[in-house]
Amino acid sequence: MERRKLHPQGPTFSRIIAGAWRWHTVSPETVERLALVALEQGITSFDHADIYGDHSNEETFGQVLSRNPSLRNKIELITKCDIKFQSSKRPATWVKHYDTSKEHIIWSVENSLKMFHTDRLDLLLIHRPDPLMDPHQVEDAFNQLKKEGKVLHFGVSNFTTSQFRMLQKHLPLPLVTNQIEISLSRLDPFFNGDLDLMLELDVSPMAWSPLGGGKLLVDEREMFGKAIKYSASYSQLALAWLLKHPSKIFPVIGTTQPDRIKEAAKSVDIQLDRQDWFEMLKWVMGQEMP
């Protein structure tokens, strides 16, 4: 499995990242199996969020780490914070909102560390842009967490280009990624400046829902020829399509099927021809390039 830095001053992750957002739908034993299969395929980076599984997924994955202590030094842990919603586990919250206060960011990290049974996070992301975000509070929180060794690197998720620039301007530490929705079914980042900014700042984005939630907007008859040409599945081609972009996209695959993890891992070996890449773009756009 290819491994790359997200940023010149950032962490090195596996090019395919295992996303845990659906893992609350399976048993703890299956979660352990998914983690071990990912590692067997060279997928060492695991994407979480404090809210996944109604605040349960981090704890379940932490149980895996507790049973297998040697795994912690073989993997990279990513998690996110700032989304709050009504839950029996968070009785003080009565309306869905975002919280990027220094107090909440630090509390959230401390809680994630406890859930994961670890002393550090490899990467912390602000999950959603907060309209009440005070960048000075975020700066203070990040500086404290970095100084204490509790978080090694920082990034954001779902930020626009202006939001990314604004926050980065206030931080002495680099934002090493922006996790955004990118797929053959979600082309906006290729044309709205999202990926241009990543290239400008030498930051690799992460792509959530890289397979369009399983609903690729491509006619299967059109994909069939490409599948034969590259001896690949449709999903492998869709991942290879993202991997070809010069911003060095890191797809985050969200699956509960071990075989799908194995399948996704092989997508890094597919080298799409430039014309095939543009032909796939043409299919989803419904027209030739201008």
Determine the Cα–Cα distance for residues 288 and 193; give it in Å rounded to an integer. 21
Q: Tell me, what's the pLDDT at 218? A: 61
Q: Tell me, what's the pLDDT at 214? A: 64
Q: Tell me, what's the pLDDT at 223? A: 80
CATH class of 3-217+243-269: alpha beta
Check if 52 is active-site: yes
Mean pLDDT by 10 residues, the chain (290 residues): 96 98 94 97 98 95 95 97 94 95 98 97 98 98 98 98 98 97 96 98 97 69 86 94 98 95 97 96 91
Q: Tell me, what's the pLDDT at 224? A: 85
Determine the Cα–Cα distance for residues 205 and 207; give it in Å rounded to an integer. 6
- Beta carbons within 10 angstroms of residue 95's beta carbon: 7
Containing 56, the helix (H) or strand (E) segment is: none
CA angle 183, 184, 186 (to 5 degrees): 60
Q: Is 94 exposed, middle or buried (0-12, 13-18, 19+ CB in 10 A)?
A: exposed
Q: Tokens at residue 63, please?
A: 């149980």
